[in-house]
Amino acid sequence: MDVSFILITLLFGAAATYFVGDKWASRAALIFSTAAFAATLYVIYRYNLGEGVSYAHKWISNPRVILGFQADGMSLSMVLLTTALTPIIVLTSFGNLFPKSRAFYALILFMAFAMAGTFLAVDGMVYYIFWELSLIPIYFIALRWGSGDAETRKKDVVKFFIYTFAGSLFMLVAFIYLYTKAGDFLDIHLYNIQLSKTEELLIFLCFFLAYAIKIPVIPFHTWQANVYQKAPAAGTMLLSGIMLKMALYSIVRWQLPIAPNAANEYKYFFIALCVAGVIYGSVLALKQTNLKKLLAYSSLAHVGLIAAGAYTLTLDGLRGAFLQMIAHGFVVVGLFYAAEIISRRYGTEEISEMGGIRIQAAKFASMFMILVMASVALPTTFNFIGEFELLYSLAQANIWLAVLGGTTIILGAFYMLRMFQQVMLGDKGGKVFADVTFGEGFTFIIIIAILIFFGLYPKPIIDFLTPALQKVLLNINPIN
């Protein structure tokens, strides 16, 4: 079995989920997403044994395109995140009745297929195809099953589609130009192209524009909060938990090794831009009265720190970025799931209309509190490991950047704990809030167990990631 089996499972699962009909769609999606997760674990097991699990096949002769998928610590860790979160996201949707649910669940699996392909691809054109394919399902998920006024939702979703698609076209131009230099799109060949200083800077900026919109980095973030708010919970989880990781991963896999000199020369500018996003996102989160918008801006702050760490071009920065991508994926899915449960029970997302939950639902309040603590990087949680490495990498670059980046912990603790107090405590005049069901509690326990286990014992993931990241560093800066 090689990595292509994971993609086949997800693609076949998407088709099967659609054709089984609305009644069985959710169960089919859960079965196939779980099967993809099991396949990922088996591929990683074989990879750790030293067996070949990559895949390559000649696809198009002119232009020369190789249908190639690479297995290493970076790609497999992101595929594992994708296939682990997909069944969790499917589970969180069981409490909702979606019209045409077979299409809804099929799109979730198809999006997981596209995102996994993006993480695995080693041919730039194949990577670009998967990158764009991932945009199609989330567009329809947000447009068809989102909330709020239909016209406003359509406007926000179309804006998101145009933003991300337009940014991706710059990346396509960069790949086409690189093809004229290398003769193919394989990453190892693109890394070795000799570019002039101007060429390298332009290539770097083309990639940056595509990734900055997807992450998003300020000032390219204007689509994020509204789409996160209006998309159904599953769509928001896919966007925040996995899709934005595509761009963060791509910085390390494609942008930095292809344009290492530009990355080194202008790294302080891009680090500063990302750190500014940390502060900006935190300040906006402080001002929010809508729960999903608050979580959206909190996510903006956290991913800004991840991007800043990646641009430090150090092993600590790259490793911290990947650790935090994984940790952030689980905690943000948990938080948005909690927000969805509150919205179902209370019929609102406005924080001012919430309260009194802890008295009625002690189990839910306790689980939500753990997720809040993980979000603010409390020691013993997975998020602490990643944020510590990220801040340490910033300190190696410039101590003041680390101080400014650290505001995500201080401000994050303030607005998250204040939000918890307003949502969970007090008394809201007799509003009834039922405690978690078995299915809801089971989903939370899975997420919390992962966050605590790897917060206490991150060594397996660190050991899995480090060799691949060291190899990338040799391409970025041979003197490291």
SS3 labels along the chain: CCCHHHHHHHHHHHHHHHHCCCCCHHHHHHHHHHHHHHHHHHHHHHHHCCCCCCEEEEEECCCCEEEEECCCHHHHHHHHHHHHHHHHHHHHHHHCCCCCHHHHHHHHHHHHHHHHHHHHECEHHHHHHHHHHCHHHHHHHHHHHCCCCHHHHHHHHHHHHHHHHHHHHHHHHHHHHHHHHHCCCEHHHHHCCCCCHHHHHHHHHHHHHHHHHHCCCCCCCCCHHHHHHHCCHHHHHHHHHHHHHHHHHHHHHHHHHHCHHHHHHCHHHHHHHHHHHHHHHHHHHHCCCEHHHHHHHHHHHHHHHHHHHHCCCCHHHHHHHHHHHHHHHHHHHHHHHHHHHHHHHHCCCEHHHCCCHHHHCHHHHHHHHHHHHHHCCCCCCHHHHHHHHHHHHHHHHCHHHHHHHCHHHHHHHHHHHHHHHHHHCCCCCCCCCCCCCHHHHHHHHHHHHHHHHHHHCCHHHHHHHHHHHHHHHHHHCCCC
Q: Which two tokens stand for residue 476?
A: 């970025």
User: Could you state, in order of their start, the residue ranges of all structural domains in the chain?
Assistant: 267-480
**What average pLDDT score do residues 163-192 get?**
92
What are the tens digits of pLDDT across the range 107-139?
999 999 999 999 999 999 999 999 999 999 999
Q: Is the pLDDT of residue 408 over 80?
A: no
Q: pLDDT confidence of 404, banded at 50, 70, 90?
A: confident
Q: pLDDT confidence of 223, banded at 50, 70, 90?
A: confident
Q: What percent of the chain lies above the pLDDT cut of 70?
A: 99
Q: pLDDT confidence of 383, banded at 50, 70, 90?
A: very high
User: pTM higher than 0.85, yes or no?
Assistant: yes
